[in-house]
Amino acid sequence: MSIVMKPKATKAEVDEVIQKVKSTGLKVDVSSGEYQTVIGIIGDEKKVDFDQIKAMSGVSDAIRIQSAYRLVSRGYIPKDVKVKVGTVSIGGDEPPVYISGPCSIESYEQLYRIAKEVKEAGAHILRGGAFKPRTSVHSFQGLGIEGLKHLKAVSKDLDMPTITEIRSEMDVDTVAKYTDVLQIGARNMFNQDLIEAAAKTGMPIFFKRGFGAQIDEYLSFAERIVAKNNRKIILCERGILPLGGSFKPATRYTLDLNAIPAIRKETPFPIFGDPSHGTGRRDLVLPMARASIAAGAHGVMVEVHDRPQEALSDGPQAVLPDELRQIIKVCDKIYETINQSESA
Ligand code: PEP
Ligand code: MN
115 and 126 Cβ atoms separated by less than 8 Å: yes
242 lines ligand 1 (CB under 6 A): no
- Which CATH superfamily includes the segment(s) 2-64? Phospho-2-dehydro-3-deoxyheptonate aldolase; domain 1 (3.30.70.1140)
Name the band, by pLDDT with cuts 50, 70 and 90, for residue 116. Answer: very high
Break the chain into its structural domains and give their ranges: 2-64, 83-343
Name the band, by pLDDT with cuts 50, 70 and 90, for residue 44. Answer: confident
User: Atom 4 of ligand 1 has which residue's CA nearest to it?
Assistant: 185
User: For a pocket test of ligand 1, which of 99, 100, 103 has the largest count of ligand atoms closer than 8 A to its C-beta?
Assistant: 103
Rounded to whole angstroms, the Cα distance separating 90 from 256 reads: 21
Residue 278 has pLDDT above 70, yes or no: yes
133 lines ligand 1 (CB under 6 A): yes
pLDDT of residue 260: 98
Q: What is the DSSP string of 290-336?
A: HHHHHTT-SEEEEEB-SSGGG-SS-GGGPBPHHHHHHHHHHHHHHHH
129 lines ligand 1 (CB under 6 A): yes
Rounded to whole angstroms, the Cα distance separating 184 from 234 reads: 10
240 lines ligand 1 (CB under 6 A): no
Q: Are 2-64 and 83-343 the same fold in CATH? A: no
Domain made up of 83-343: CATH architecture: Alpha-Beta Barrel (3.20)
Portion of the chain with pLDDT greater than 90, in percent: 86
pLDDT of residue 245: 66
Reduce the DSSP state of residue 191 to 3 states and report it: coil
Name the band, by pLDDT with cuts 50, 70 and 90, for residue 344. Answer: confident
Portion of the chain with pLDDT greater than 70, in percent: 99
Name the band, by pLDDT with cuts 50, 70 and 90, for residue 66. Answer: low
Rounded to whole angstroms, the Cα distance separating 109 from 95 reads: 31
Residue 324 has pLDDT above 70, yes or no: yes
Residue 246 has pLDDT above 90, yes or no: no
**Stretch 191-214: mean pLDDT, rounded?**
98
pTM above 0.95, yes or no: no
63 vs 185, which has greater pLDDT? Answer: 185
**Stretch 225-238: mean pLDDT, rounded?**
97
29 and 226 Cβ atoms separated by less than 8 Å: yes
The pLDDT tens digits for 118-139 are: 999 999 999 999 999 999 999 9
